[in-house]
Amino acid sequence: MVIHPVFNLTMKHIVIIGNGISGVTAARHIRKNSDYQITIISSETRHFFSRTALMYVYMGHLKFEHTKPYEDFFWKKNRIDLVFDHVVKVNAERQQVDLKSGNTLHYDALVIASGSRSNKFGWPGQDLVGVQGLYSYNDLVLMEGNTKAIKHAVLVGGGLIGIEMAEMLLTRGIRVTFLVREPEFWSSVLPMEEARLITNHIRSHHVDLKLTTELREIISDHEGKVKAVKTEKNEIIECQFVGLAVGVSPNIEFLSDSGIRTNNGVLVDSYLQTNIPNVYAIGDCVERTYQLPGRKNIEQVWYTGRMMGEVVAQTICGTPSKYEPGPWFNSAKFLDIEYQTYGTVSNVLSPAEDDFYWEHHGQKKAIHFVWNKDSKKFLGVNTFGIRLRHEYFDRWLRQKKDIQFVIAHLQEANFDPEFFERHENEIANAFYQKYPSFKAA
Amino acid sequence: MKILKITGLLLFVAGFFVFNASFFWADYRLTENAVKKSIHDEQKQALFLTEASAILDRPVSSNFEFIHYVSEIFETINEKQLTKYAITEDELDRLAKLSEATFSIANVDSVFRTSNETSSFKNKVFKDFGGSLESRTFSSPEELHTELKNVSAKVRDYAIINRAGFDRYAQKDIKYSLAKASAESPVRNNPLLYLLLTFGLCIIGAALYILPKIKESKGIKNNNIFFHPMKNVGWLGILTGTWLIVFYVILYFFPEYMTNWIIMVDPISEMLNGHEAGRFFLYGFIYTLCILVMGVRMIIHYRHSKYQIFRTLSVMFFQTAFAFLIPEFLIRLNKPYFDFKNIWPLDYSFFFDFRLDQLRESGALGIFMLGWGIALIIIAVPVFVYFFGKRWYCSWVCGCGGLAETLGDPYRQLSDKSLKAWKIERWMVHGVLAFAIVMTAAVLYTYWTKSSWFLIVDSYSLREVYGSFIGAAFAGVIGTGFYPLMGNRVWCRFGCPLAAYLGLIQRFKSRFRITTNGGQCISCGNCSTYCEMGIDVRWYAQRGQNIVRSSCVGCGVCSAVCPRGVLNLEVKDEEGRFGKPILIGNNNAKLDV
């Protein structure tokens, strides 16, 4: 049974910890729906920036100021107070947060949106100079310094941050060796076909991609700087930089004595409320205590953070709303290959599922459909080098369309620019060739 | 590959160096023939030759010195003529004495007899400028005297130099013509060789620099742009901008100094239109080369996108055929110069008297051209913008757009995206449109009524102000000179009256919009940064709202640089074009924030 939170009508001051996409979305929506006093605290940067764009600053595509989605006057104009400080402690009982500067802020409702931090798994040498992850603005500054005039870098961990770091380093003419535990790149998430496509693409950019390879230790020179890494296979690779891109975990250490319940992340109910009334958590730092079908309890993605911000604002402003994201979607770019996914495509098919994979010969394009074997219900799609319309796939997934419908209507869902080569007929023909029974039906 | 690039760069720099050096590389020897060719009035010819005797047939070693001498000659002549023809105090007194309380213009004949040349001149100009005094009654001799002095001042300011000397317009033309006819330079002796050593080297160099990029993988490669001294207003960008500004100032305001460059393209001009080259032939030649060479670069840079390839081929074609070759062939055939894709009010002189007269005198073709030009304004613009958006012109056909999209592409990220810039832009661009309309109305009013006074202004001054401040200074000097400083669309965004007109239709009545893909935006800012028109594309993309902006030229680069496939240029039903923001993916959120 769901008990709706009770609201204190005199509630005035909303304090948000963290100025990432989650916290800022919450603030914007609270402002639209109320006159509450809003304060955002961050010790990372004074103003909100797009974390996903940090790589472009390093690569010289953008300047840092270009990553700010709102001009600096926006905050004052919308009466959102920004505090550039670090939260050292939350005192839930007295409804206040203690800041590093010694200041204290009283809140009527608190939103924890403190994000993640990069994982380190206790490797020897992981704290040497020249070893780092990439998550925050500080990491970017650090990486700028750590990679000055170096020749060779080693990256550990085959995920989205790893491939970003590889792309970044390549633009500086730095040789990259990439250690990936899985048999193909990101095959913990992508089915083998796609993983192989990306693996080949990475190699075509002259990255020395070492698959099924794990890090054993990082070796120091006499100044405490990284000199080389040693793999589990005892191979020694000389390098002047090590990028640790082995995932992130909720950044919640500062909550340890607060009375707010945490596990790996801050534990929240379906209203994104913690065990303490009027204390909410959103974004990367959240661990849901309830299940959503086909989804993990910690989801560290831009979009989920944004959606939680939207929902928590409704709740705080008097319309209690559950966090119920629609069908899963995500996107990324692997060097030159754009990737989008809608619905659920697991790396390994379940026995109840069937799939169809199409890859273009010559161009780096592919598409992968998954559906339920019995009901024919369409479950998800991965697409590479072909843009698809989110709106259409979201609708089809909600309406539980079958796979034939999706194949037949694929043309409408194409989102590529004008004059781009279209492949829907080719895909449909290949599909019917493999599954002739669908054609009859 | 790296060696090719460096070789290319060196060749380009060498060619560019020779081009700049050739600006200074000539002796000037003034001949009687040159004077006769440049000054058509025989009396003035004689005057000039008398004063020029000191430098006649003697080499002068630089264009600056030569122009300086010629200017001095003009000044001397003008001063002499002013002294000679000025109405003296004594003459005024005599005239005043002859007059009673009521002035009679006939008295002028008594003071200035037509028997000698000087006096005859004075007689004529006094009547021209003092005609309005006829039969006027004055309350005192002082008042009459003041009026007569006013006439004398007008004669001095407006008549003597215009009629007996050289006014600034005449000086400009003659200086240019004399400098071109008098130049003795290696370029004149061998224009083709210098064409090869300048443009030839630059083209080969650019090709070697650009072509190797084809070996890189396809896709967006904006690496290191903001670290580049050329592309982030570094020293190279400032230098390039300065050079361009100086070039345009010389081209528009001091063409007499650049004759050596023009001599270089004489053979090409003669081949195409049968006449020697003028400054705007040189300009058109360079302009077209830039679009072609940098067009190849653009195509290589964006070769993963067919939209970009076709669009670039289109601007290359329209520049080469419509703006450059066809008008030159028309001249060869003795027809009016006409650029079939240039549209008023960008083509602000379309309704000027001399052009209307020329078209009217050119038979059926002239009338067709007139009709074509008007049809472009009232039919093609609204219809095509309705179906395709203003991009059909601005980024597929237009010459200014063509240069911006090719030569200017490396600078697109420098446009200002702030809200303030947008406000300034709206006032400025619509202000210029209003100015263009008023100026044209005035010019047409004068054309029909023969009266130069339109409401509160003189239509001739109005069009002169428009021509030099908007046509030359804004569109040329700032429009292109500011590429490396403020991005490649400064003119199109802040100044082009046609863009304003196209934009109004695009904003209010068009099927064109940029759509956003559900909730996929990550606010990275690539779209806004690479929007040459300074539209904050991300503002719309991150809230899932269609981008419907009058300034959007539909270049498609926002869509190309988006790493998540969020943006797409689309034409479809008008309904839903101004849709509310919607981010897909969340069940319990109200999203019109």
- Does residue B563 belong to any structural domain of this protein? no
| CB contact A302 to B (< 8 Å) | yes
- Same domain, yes or no: B192 and B94: no
What does the DSSP 8-state code read for residue B214?
A: G
Arithmetic mean of pLDDT, B353-360: 96
- Best CA proximity match to A147, nearest among A135, A158, A131: A131
Residue B166 lies in domain? 27-183
Tell me the Cα Rg of chain A: 24
Measured between beta carbons, which residues in chain B are less than 8 angstroms from residue A323?
588
Measured between beta carbons, which residues in chain A are less than 8 angstroms from residue B524?
50, 52-53, 56, 62, 67
pLDDT digits (tens, 9 = 90+) for A202-258: 999 999 999 999 999 999 999 999 999 999 999 999 999 999 999 999 999 999 989
How far is the C-alpha of B84 from the C-alpha of A202, rounded, in Å? 86
| CB contact A52 to B (< 8 Å) | yes
- Same domain, yes or no: B256 and B134: no
Q: What is the DSSP string of A315-362?
A: HHTT------B-S-EEEEEETTEEEEEEE---SS--TTEEEEEEE-SS
- At A313, the pLDDT band (50, 70, 90 cuts) reads very high
- Residue ranges, comma separated, of all CATH 3.50.50.60 domains in chain A are 13-117+249-316, 131-246
> In sequence order, which residues have a C-beta less than 8 Å from that of residue A234 and are 6 or more positions away?
A216
Q: Into which CATH architecture does domain A13-117+249-316 fall?
A: 3-Layer(bba) Sandwich (3.50)
- Does residue B520 belong to any structural domain of this protein? no
Of the residues B508, B523, B557, the one at which a domain ends: B508
Which residues numbered 262-301 in A keep a CB inside 8 Å of some CB on B?
none
- Same domain, yes or no: B342 and B211: no
Which ranges of A59-180 does DSSP label H, i.e. alpha helix?
Answer: 73-77, 137-146, 160-171
Q: Is the Cβ–Cβ distance between A43 and A100 less than 8 Å?
A: yes
**SS3 of chain A: helix, strand, coil, percent, to 5:** 25, 30, 45
- Same domain, yes or no: B198 and B293: no
How far is the C-alpha of B390 from the C-alpha of B511, rounded, in Å? 11
Secondary structure in 3-state letters for B314-374: HHHHHHHHHHHHHHHHHHHCCCCCCCCCCCCCCCCCCCCHHHHHHHHCCHHHHHHHHHHHH
pLDDT value at position B137?
85
Nearest residue, CB atoms, A326 vs list B217, B561, B586: B586
pLDDT value at position A4?
42
Of the residues B475, B490, B508, the one at which a domain ends: B508
Nearest residue, CB atoms, B569 vs list A323, A332, A417: A417
Tokens read off for B187 = 């370029």
CB within 8 Å: A306 and B304: no
Q: Best residue in A21, A174, A303 to probe B by mutation, most B CBs within 10 Å?
A: A303
Question: Residue B344 pLDDT more than 90?
Answer: yes
Assign A374 to helix, strand or coil. coil
A331 to chain B: closest CA residue:
B564
Measured between beta carbons, which residues in chain B are less than 8 angstroms from residue A77?
none
Question: Residue A8 pLDDT more than 60?
Answer: no
Domain A329-440 sits in which CATH superfamily?
FAD/NAD-linked reductase, C-terminal dimerisation domain (3.30.390.30)
Which residues numbered 283-312 in B keep a CB inside 8 Å of some CB on A?
304-307, 309-310
| CB contact B593 to A (< 8 Å) | yes
Measured between beta carbons, which residues in chain B are less than 8 angstroms from residue A56?
524-526
Number of domains in chain B: 3
- Does residue B272 belong to any structural domain of this protein? yes
CB within 8 Å: B223 and A60: yes
* Number of inter-chain CB pairs under 8 A, A vs B: 162
Question: Residue B530 pLDDT more than 90?
Answer: yes
- Does residue B401 belong to any structural domain of this protein? yes
B219 to chain A: closest CA residue:
A336
- Best CA proximity match to A244, nearest among A334, A134, A333, A163: A134
- Same domain, yes or no: B442 and B395: yes
Extended beta strands in B411-537, E state = 453-454, 457-458, 512-516
Which residues numbered 21-40 in A keep a CB inside 8 Å of some CB on B?
21, 28-29, 32
How far is the C-alpha of B510 from the C-alpha of B502, rounded, in Å? 10
- Same domain, yes or no: B145 and B276: no
Arithmetic mean of pLDDT, A3-14: 60
CB within 8 Å: A56 and B525: yes
CB within 8 Å: B526 and A394: no
- Same domain, yes or no: B222 and B209: no
Which residues numbered 408-447 in B keep a CB inside 8 Å of some CB on A?
418-419
Tally of CB atoms within 10 A around A93: 9
> In sequence order, which residues have a C-beta less than 8 Å from that of residue B44 and are 6 or more positions away?
B165, B166
pLDDT digits (tens, 9 = 90+) for A285-299: 999 999 998 899 999
Question: Residue A160 pLDDT more than 80?
Answer: yes
Nearest residue, CB atoms, B419 vs list A56, A71, A333: A71
Arithmetic mean of pLDDT, A164-179: 98
pLDDT value at position A441?
54
- Does residue B519 belong to any structural domain of this protein? no
Q: Is the Cβ–Cβ distance between B221 and B453 less than 8 Å?
A: no
- Best CA proximity match to A88, nearest among A77, A80, A99, A96: A99
- At B104, the pLDDT band (50, 70, 90 cuts) reads confident
CB within 8 Å: B522 and A321: no
- Same domain, yes or no: B125 and B197: no
- Same domain, yes or no: B315 and B399: yes
CB within 8 Å: A417 and B556: yes
Q: Is the Cβ–Cβ distance between B238 and B484 less than 8 Å?
A: yes
Tokens read off for B430 = 């619509």
- Same domain, yes or no: B224 and B313: yes
- Does residue B458 belong to any structural domain of this protein? yes
Tokens read off for B365 = 């073709």
Question: Residue B545 pLDDT more than 50?
Answer: yes
Arithmetic mean of pLDDT, B240-256: 97
- Does residue B531 belong to any structural domain of this protein? no
Å between A366 CA and nearest CA of chain B: 15
CB within 8 Å: B568 and A52: no
- Best CA proximity match to B319, nearest among B347, B344, B287: B287
How far is the C-alpha of B213 from the C-alpha of A150, rounded, in Å? 25
Of the residues B133, B164, B183, the one at which a domain ends: B183
- Same domain, yes or no: B17 and B33: no
pLDDT above 70 covers a percentage of chain B that reads: 99
pLDDT value at position A11?
57
User: Which tops the pLDDT comparison, B21 or A6?
Assistant: B21
A164 to chain B: closest CA residue:
B563
The residue type found at A12 is K
Q: Into which CATH architecture does domain A131-246 fall?
A: 3-Layer(bba) Sandwich (3.50)
Which residue matches tokens 């693996």?
Answer: A199
> In sequence order, which residues have a C-beta less than 8 Å from that of residue B131 and are 6 or more positions away?
B105
pLDDT digits (tens, 9 = 90+) for B570-586: 999 998 898 878 788 88
Tokens read off for B245 = 């500004």
Question: Residue A430 pLDDT more than 60?
Answer: yes
Long-range own/partner contacts, residues A53-58 (CB < 8 A, 24 or more apart)? A53/B522, A53/B523, A53/B524, A53/B525, A53/B526, A54/A134, A54/A137, A54/A139, A54/A140, A55/A134, A55/A164, A55/A165, A55/A167, A55/A168, A56/B524, A56/B525, A56/B526, A57/A140, A58/A140, A58/A143, A58/A144, A58/A168, A58/A171
pLDDT digits (tens, 9 = 90+) for A72-131: 999 999 999 999 999 999 999 999 999 999 999 999 999 999 999 999 999 999 999 999
ipTM above 0.90, yes or no: yes
| CB contact B238 to A (< 8 Å) | no
- At A5, the pLDDT band (50, 70, 90 cuts) reads very low
Å between B388 CA and nearest CA of chain A: 12
Q: Is the peptide bond before B345 cis (omega within 30 degrees of 0)?
A: yes
Question: Residue B98 pLDDT more than 90?
Answer: no
**B299 backbone dihedrals φ, ψ, rounded to 5°:** -65, -40
- Does residue B528 belong to any structural domain of this protein? no
Which residues numbered 374-413 in A keep a CB inside 8 Å of some CB on B?
387-391, 394
Question: Residue B107 pLDDT more than 90?
Answer: no
- Same domain, yes or no: B114 and B199: no
Q: Is the Cβ–Cβ distance between A238 and A246 less than 8 Å?
A: no
What does the DSSP 8-state code read for residue A136?
A: S
Question: Residue B494 pLDDT more than 60?
Answer: yes
> B499 pairs with which residues across the strands?
none
